């Protein structure tokens, strides 16, 4: 099925399969029946978010000297980033989860602050049933707060 379609269509097919599997699991394990309209809206929104994330990466300034390095075997790595578009007056945040081979296991975007996107990335990995993860981000202050056991009185303490 993938051989006959473009990369965008293949991604959409993969999302549809993932959503159908998710809905099936909700029905079998929780007795929750998802409405078809909700699932269709979710697929459309999810695909639009991923397209927007990819487009923003394509339009961004030339890449800096930051290189992605794969996580250890059996781990996935969550990369999160956020930015602000002055012309559009909007913030953008994104999450991408990759395995040790660099394969994209999941991607999403949301409009939120640095700590919230990190939390979203961790929850997203949990929703996809990943147990061993590495959270990587340019938000050093958020990562430092996550890695410390000292009491946090900052505005993002509830998220931490």
pLDDT higher for 21 or 68?
Answer: 21
- Rounding to the nearest 10 degrees, give the CA dihedral for residues 33, 34, 35, 36: -120
CATH of the domain at 138: 3.30.420.10
Q: What is the pTM of this model?
A: 0.38
User: What percentage of the chain has pLDDT greater than the value 70?
Assistant: 74
DSSP single-letter state for residue 94: E
| Within-domain flag for 71 | no
> Which structural domain range is residue 18 located in?
2-59
d(CA 86, CA 104): 29
| Within-domain flag for 157 | no
Q: What is the mean pLDDT of residues 95-106?
A: 88
pLDDT at 51 over 70: yes
Domain count, the chain: 2
Edge-to-edge strand ranges of the sheet holding 104-110: 104-110, 90-98, 76-85, 133-137
pLDDT value at residue 158: 63
* Residue 74 binned pLDDT confidence (cut-offs 50, 70, 90): very high
Residues 88 and 137 in one domain: yes
| Within-domain flag for 155 | no
d(CA 36, CA 57): 32
**pLDDT of 75-88, one tens digit each?**
999 988 777 665 65
């Amino acid at each position: 099925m993938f051989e006959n379609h473009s990369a965008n269509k293949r991604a959409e097919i993969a999302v549809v399969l993932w959503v159908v599997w998710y809905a099936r699991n909700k029905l079998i394990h929780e007795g929750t029946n998802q409405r078809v309209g909700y699932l269709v809206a979710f697929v459309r929104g999810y695909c639009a978010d991923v397209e927007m994330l990819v487009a923003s990466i394509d339009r961004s300034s030339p890449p800096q000297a930051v290189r992605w390095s794969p996580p250890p075997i059996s781990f996935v790595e969550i990369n999160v980033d956020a930015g602000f578009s002055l012309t559009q007056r909007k913030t953008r945040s994104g999450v991408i989860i990759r395995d040790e081979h660099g394969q994209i296991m999941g991607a999403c975007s949301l409009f939120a602050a640095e700590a919230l996107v990190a939390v979203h990335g961790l929850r997203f990995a949990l929703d996809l049933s990943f147990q061993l993860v590495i959270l990587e981000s340019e938000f050093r202050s958020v990562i430092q707060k996550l890695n410390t056991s000292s009491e946090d009185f900052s505005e993002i303490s509830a998220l931490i």
